[in-house]
Amino acid sequence: MIISLIVAASENNAIGKDNKLLWYLPNDMKFFKNTTWAMPVIMGRKTFESLAGEPLPGRYNIVVTRNHIDLSGRSNAELAFSPEDALLKAKEKDCKEVFIAGGQQIYNAYLPVATKIYITRVHAVLEGDAFFPAIDEKEWKKVYELDFPADEKHAYAYSFQTWVRI
């Protein structure tokens, strides 16, 4: 199973502040939805809470937490109490790829075992309190990049990038 990190991060790797995204980029939201659709998505408790405590529709949500969260009545979500447990639950879904959707602690936990990174690089330096780990170009190779300018719907220029482990 391919383990992929999926993230939007600024030039200084900021991904959020006060448990909120730092931008609204509709094309990035579409990219995230289309890329992760029908696949297992692993996220931390804070990321889950930033979604108003509702699982992402059309995906199997696995929430990594040390605390209990009531997910009763939600057939597309379950808890995992460690990153390893979450991967086991994802493997049970018999999918070719699992997506790691944040936040900072979850990205740090999975980066050593990930094989692919989908990153929307937001071309700005922004203040944040949560960051994506630096991509070490000795370990990762950029295999795809598509650039977009800022426009009336997107306050920042951005690039869709795909990195694979060397």
Q: Mean pLDDT over residues 117-140, rounded? A: 98
pLDDT at 13 over 80: yes
Q: Mean pLDDT over residues 133-154, rounded? A: 97
pLDDT at 34 over 90: yes
Per domain, the residue ranges of the chain are 2-165
What would the two tokens of residue 42 be?
Answer: 């692993």
50-69 confidence digits (pLDDT tens)? 988 789 999 999 999 988 88
- Which of the following CATH numbers is that of domain 2-165: 3.40.50.300, 3.40.430.10, 2.120.10.30, 1.10.10.10? 3.40.430.10
